[in-house]
Amino acid sequence: MIKRWSKPNGYRQVFAISLRLVGSMGSITLMQFTDRIFLANYSLDAIAAALPAGIASFTAIAFFMGVASYTNAFVAQYTGAQALNRVGAAVWQGIYFSLMSAVLLASLYFISHILFDLIGHSPNIRALEVTYFNILTLGAGLVVLGSAMACFYTGRGLTWTVMLVHMAGATVNIPLDYCLINGVGPFPELGIVGAGIATVTASAFIVAVLGLLILSPKNRERFGTWEGRAFDKDLFSRLMRYGLPSGIQFFLEIFGITFFIQMLGRLGDLELAASNIVLSIETLSFLPMVGFHIGNATLVGQAVGRGRPEDGVYSTTSALHITVIYMMVVAAVFVFTPRPLLSLFKAGHQTPVQYAEVMDIGVILMRFVAVFCFFDALNLVYSGAMKGAGDTRYIMWTIAALSLGVMIGPVYLAVQFIGAGLYTAWTLATLYISALGVAFMLRYRQGKWKKMRVIEAQPLVAEVRCGEM
């Protein structure tokens, strides 16, 4: 264990890359987390509407974000192969895809009321859901674009910059969020509308800063970030070949969660509010896992790019040790001290009886989350390794089969036809996450990912001064 700390792809290197990503995504999640705390204190209806609409918006974004963020694998493998002149071109293909996605996402504005009519929440909740969803999807292209641009740094393992940019975005979002929701000083009281405007403003800020950094003279010289701006048909096609399954996988995964939340809304507003609160806590607590998922994907991608997949095995084992220990600590907190976390979401307009009911339900749901903690560690670490190599089709088909067969279909039947309650639905969700962890572990151990590669077999390396990366 001690020797593994200092070795290449050992604990120290995994921590160095992943924790900065945790900081980066932590800023994004913190924005969402505080957004929901502000809304929970603003009104019960606002918090009941925020998570379903937010998740529905993220579901719409998920496919495009999954494709755009797969630029990370190309940047990582080009870095491993020392084909640094191809990095800029790879990022630009992700940017072009992101710009196309912005138009499609904005068009959802015209059908949003139909979508939420189908969900069937109470009229007051539905009106807030439509409003919040429209604002988020109009600005959704910025989120996809930011994901593609961040790959310029994350794919090379240089995650400090992304972390600092997202932290700066949080400093824009959080105070603006509070002011626009509650009407502080010169700002009008906009409620859930203000929350949406603050989120889009922060996304625009992040994109602008990343763009200025990527196009700096040093990056133009080393990585062709301006010279590589031309549309590259072959490179774009390969991004689609490997990125589309990744996008579909991400969409299906998010869709499963979205469907789950929407079905819970049919059980009652208190059940929905309690589930929203628990899922908000889970999102923040599980954040490091996502950082290690991307960090390990980067290290595996670099290992494959330089023709040493065994280095990827070492980084995956290191990441697994770290994440399993962390998730066991999280599970213990969720089981033994859930109420202090749940109390952060006390709604200003809740009656004492409503608050007590939400708390009691939340305590039980936190135990469900504790049960699947270990399996989620397996899921994210092993799927990250396979993504870094290019094994995206297996991940796509596995999530499609398990989400439909274990969660979406059974939850719909249980709630809609059998009359099952909240805890049956959460049991099925727990089984789904556990099954994913086992499936990805078995696929990883087969070792097929070791023979995969997303970049060309012999990328052209320009005779340029690369300097330090």
Q: Residues near 410 by Cβ (< 8 Å), separated by ≥ 6?
A: 428
Structure tokens at 211: 């763009």
pLDDT of the residue at 59: 84
Contact 454, 242 (CB under 8 A): yes
**Closest Cα to residue 151, out of 301, 42, 45, 48?**
301
Q: Phi/psi of residue 184, each to 5°?
A: -105, 135
| pTM of the model as a whole | 0.85
**How do the pLDDT tens digits run along the chain, 469 residues long?**
678 888 888 999 998 899 888 888 777 777 777 777 888 888 878 888 887 888 788 888 999 999 999 999 999 999 999 999 999 999 999 999 999 999 999 999 999 989 888 877 788 888 999 999 999 999 999 999 999 999 999 999 888 899 999 999 999 999 999 999 999 989 999 999 999 999 999 999 999 999 999 999 999 999 999 999 999 999 999 999 999 999 999 999 888 887 888 788 888 888 888 898 898 888 878 888 889 999 999 999 999 999 999 999 999 999 999 999 999 999 999 999 999 998 887 765 667 888 888 899 999 999 999 999 999 999 999 999 999 999 999 999 999 999 999 999 999 999 988 888 899 999 999 999 999 999 999 999 999 999 999 998 766 555 433 333 3
C-alpha distances out from residue 275 to 250, 265, 279, 339, 413, Å: 22, 9, 6, 14, 19
In angstroms, the CA 422 to CA 213 distance is: 47
In a 13 Å sphere around the CA of 98, the CA atoms on its Cβ side amount to 26
Beta carbons within 10 angstroms of residue 116's beta carbon: 23
C-alpha distances out from residue 385 to 311, 382, 389, Å: 11, 5, 7
What is the chain's Cα-based Rg? 22
pLDDT of the residue at 441: 97
Task: Report long-range pairs for 417-422 (Cβ below 8 Å, ≥24 apart).
Answer: 421/267, 422/264, 422/267, 422/271, 422/275, 422/361, 422/365
Give the start-to-end residue ranges of the domains of the chain: 2-451
Q: Phi/psi of residue 419, each to 5°?
A: 80, 25
pLDDT of the residue at 33: 73
Give residue 14's identity as a one-letter amino acid code: V
Q: Please state the three-class secondary structure of the chain as a single string.
A: CHHHHHCCCCHHHHHHHHHHHHHHHHHHHHHHHHHHHHHHHHCHHHHHHHHHHHHHHHHHHHHHHHHHCCHHHHHHHHHHCCCHHHHHHHHHHHHHHHHHHHHHHHHHHHCHHHHHHHHCCCHHHHHHHHHHHHHHHHCHHHHHHHHHHHHHHHCCCCCHHHHHHHHHHHHHHHHHHHHHHHCCCCCCCCCHHHHHHHHHHHHHHHHHHHHHHHCCHHHHHHHCCCCCCCCCHHHHHHHHHHHHHHHHHHHHHHHHHHHHHHHHHCCCHHHHHHHHHHHHHHHHHCHHHHHHHHHHHHHHHHHHHCCCHHHHHHHHHHHHHHHHHHHHHHHHHHHHCCHHHHHHHCCCCCCHHHHHHHHHHHHHHHHHHHHHHHHHHHHHHHHHHHHHHCCHHHHHHHHHHHHHHHHHHHHHHHHHHHCCCHHHHHHHHHHHHHHHHHHHHHHHHHCHHHHCCCCCCCCCCCCCCCCCC
